């Protein structure tokens, strides 16, 4: 794999993880929402990644890209609050299906993956600079 492809692969991963972080932030911001714009409880969103070919002809390197953002199929969180104006006939209010613990775990995972790719890029940059220095000394 070309050293330049390292930058392409890492940057594709950083872009994908950035999208994942934005989705987590949106989910956390709506964790206690009762209704969204469509009148239904907010549904947590998840980012789906897929591998994508990178590099030129004959190279086998793969990057990553966001394939789609899907809504969680988990049921809404039902809370008994008969005095709430959004309560149903049984006194339950449907809140978003966002699990804050899962979202915090996703946030930590995405953040660390992003940081790891930054380190990969920094290491590749350092290797390229050292290679140039070797060429100058010869």
Q: What is the pLDDT of residues 106-117, one digit of tens each?
A: 999 999 999 999
Tens digits of residue pLDDT in 39-60 = 788 999 999 999 988 766 666 7
Contact 31, 77 (CB under 8 A): no
State the DSSP H helix or E strand holding residue 79, giving kind and residue range, or none if neither: strand 77-80
* Domain ranges (residues) in the chain: 3-34+45-73+98-137
Q: Is the pLDDT of residue 133 over 70?
A: yes
- Ranges 25-29, 115-119, 125-129: which has the least confidence: 125-129
């Amino acid at each position: 794999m070309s050293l330049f492809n390292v930058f392409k692969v890492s940057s594709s991963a950083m872009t994908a993880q950035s999208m994942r972080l934005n989705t987590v932030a949106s989910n956390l911001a709506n964790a206690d929402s009762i209704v969204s714009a469509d009148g239904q409880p907010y549904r947590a969103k998840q980012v789906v990644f897929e591998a994508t070919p990178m590099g030129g002809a004959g190279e086998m390197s793969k990057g990553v890209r966001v394939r789609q953002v899907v809504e969680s199929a988990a049921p809404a969180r039902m809370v008994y609050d008969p005095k709430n104006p959004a309560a149903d006939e049984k006194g339950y209010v449907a809140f978003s299906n966002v699990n804050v613990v899962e979202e915090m775990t996703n946030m930590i995972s995405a953040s660390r993956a992003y940081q790891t790719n930054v380190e990969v890029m920094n290491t590749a940059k350092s290797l390229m600079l050292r290679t140039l220095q070797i060429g100058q000394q010869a």
